[in-house]
Structure 1
Amino acid sequence: MDKHGLLTDYLATNAHKISQVIPFNPESDRFYHFNFTENNQDLTAADIADTANFSKWIESKLRNYDCRYGIGGYMEHRTLYQRSALFNTADEPRRLHLGVDIWAPANTHIYAPLAGVIHSFQDNNHFGDYGPTIILQHDLNGLVLYSLYGHLSRVSLSGLKEGHLIESGQKIGELGYADENGSWPPHLHFQLMFDLQGMRGDYPGVGKYSEKDLLINNIPAPQILLQIPAANIIG
């Protein structure tokens, strides 16, 4: 069985060990599904380039649809990354989003979905980057899984130590404001990986579309851990 199958089996038989990454009430909270592909004609390039305008656009959508959070992005081919030279690699611009974004107010608490240890952390302080980032390592009956949390507050990195034990459901950080999270509207970038390929405190959250099949092999769908009911997602 491949790693994806092993992960699916582990989570199916250990559902009691999974905690929410972001606090929500499945009975009442709704998530607006944001689409940032070229099919989104509602958001202009000028809006995307201006973080304040981009934030207002996000907030207005959530308000108009009466949603507590926004969500979306796994393996989505996004046009919005043209806002930062960070993604404009010479041979092929990176536009394929590899994680799930959860759009929520700054200071929203973030929790570990599974027990593990702090693998590494870092402030990726560049325009369009993650800003403060934490990576956890989980041992799932011999299957190694890493989870990444990007766009946190800087205070989230205070006092952290690599190798420190983390319990399922333990608070690990808070969402940061735009002036500390890589200049984005406040949100969490949540991503899973089987192999970090030697990286620490960072792992690409955006890849090349031509490498999609290869990337999927290493990056399982984060929804498998988020466990947000489809009925709670609109848009």
Structure 2
Amino acid sequence: MDRHKQLEHFIAANPDKVGKVVYFDAARHKLLRLDFTDANHELSPEIIGHTQQFSAWVFKKLKENKCKYGVGGYFENRTIYSRSALFNTTAEPRCLHLGIDIWGDAGTMVYAPLAGKVHSFQDNDNFGDYGATIILEHHLDGLKLFSLYGHLNDESFLGLSEGMAIEKGEALGEFGSTEENGNWPPHLHFQLMFDMEGLKGDYPGACRLSEQDKYRHNIADPGLILQFPAGSII
């Protein structure tokens, strides 16, 4: 059985071992699917290039649609990365988003959805980067899985140490403000990897189109953990 199937099987067989990443009540809350591809003609280069305008656009959409969070992005071919040189270091830019983003208020609490331990953490403080980032390591009936939480606030590192045990449902940190999260509208980048490839405190959150086969092999669908009801997404 390949690792993707192993993960699906573990989740199906152990629903009690999978918890929330953010607080969400499907009976009261709605989620807005945000499109950051070139099909979204509302997002001009001017809006994307100015963090405050970009943030105002995101929260205007959430308010208009009465949604608690904006969500989406798994293997989405994004245009928004043109705002940062971090994604354009070669002739072929990194444009395929490897995680799921949850867009919401700064200070939103983030929880560990699985028991595990702290693999590593780091402040990736380049413009357009993750900002404060925590990576957890999980062992799921013989399957090793890593979960990444990017764009947190600086206080999320307080009391943290590599190797420390983390329980399912334990508070990890909070969504960071634009000043501390890599200059993005407040949100969480949530990503799953089977192999950290020797990296610590960081792992690519976007890849080049030519690399997608490699990353599809290593990157699991975060939706398997988030389990947002399809009926809650508009």
Which category of TM-score, normalised to the shorter sequence, fits these structures? over 0.9
Report the CA distance between 1:90 and its aligned residue.
Answer: 1.3
1:127 and 2:132 are equivalent in the alignment: no
Measure, in 2, the Cα distance between the counterparts of 1:29 and 1:209. 34
Corresponding position of 1:105: 105
Deviations 1:7-59 (A, max 9, x none): 11001000111111000101111110000000000111100110000010000
Corresponding position of 2:233: 233
Corresponding position of 1:187: 187
1:141 corresponds to which letter in structure 2? D
Measure, in 1, the Cα distance between the counterparts of 2:213 and 2:9. 22
Corresponding position of 1:155: 155
Measure, in 2, the Cα distance between the counterparts of 1:104 and 1:137. 25
Measure, in 1, the Cα distance between the counterparts of 2:50 and 2:151. 17
Measure, in 2, the Cα distance between the counterparts of 1:198 and 1:230. 35
Q: Secondary structure at the match of 1:200?
A: coil
Report the CA distance between 1:209 and its aligned residue.
Answer: 1.1
Q: Secondary structure at the match of 1:77?
A: coil
Residue correspondence of structure 1 range 36-51 to structure 2 within 5 A: 36-51=36-51
Report the CA distance between 1:174 and its aligned residue.
Answer: 0.5
1:152 corresponds to which letter in structure 2? L
Corresponding position of 2:117: 117
1:179 corresponds to which letter in structure 2? E
Corresponding position of 2:6: 6
Measure, in 1, the Cα distance between the counterparts of 2:34 and 2:230. 14
Corresponding position of 2:215: 215
1:137 and 2:137 are equivalent in the alignment: yes
Measure, in 1, the Cα distance between the counterparts of 2:27 and 2:20. 14
- 4+ residue runs of structure 1 moved beyond 4 angstroms? none
Measure, in 1, the Cα distance between the counterparts of 2:110 and 2:15. 19
TM-score by length of 1: 0.99
Residue correspondence of structure 1 range 11-30 to structure 2 within 5 A: 11-30=11-30
Measure, in 1, the Cα distance between the counterparts of 2:91 and 2:69. 36
Corresponding position of 1:55: 55
Deviations 1:55-110 (A, max 9, x none): 10000000000001000100000011010000002131101100000001000000
Q: Secondary structure at the match of 1:94?
A: coil
Corresponding position of 2:178: 178
2:87 corresponds to which letter in structure 1? F
Measure, in 1, the Cα distance between the counterparts of 2:43 and 2:229. 27
2:62 corresponds to which letter in structure 1? L
TM-score by length of 2: 0.99
Q: Secondary structure at the match of 2:32?
A: strand
Aligned length: 234
Measure, in 2, the Cα distance between the counterparts of 1:198 and 1:142. 20
2:184 corresponds to which letter in structure 1? W
Structure 1 residues not aligned, in runs of 5+: none
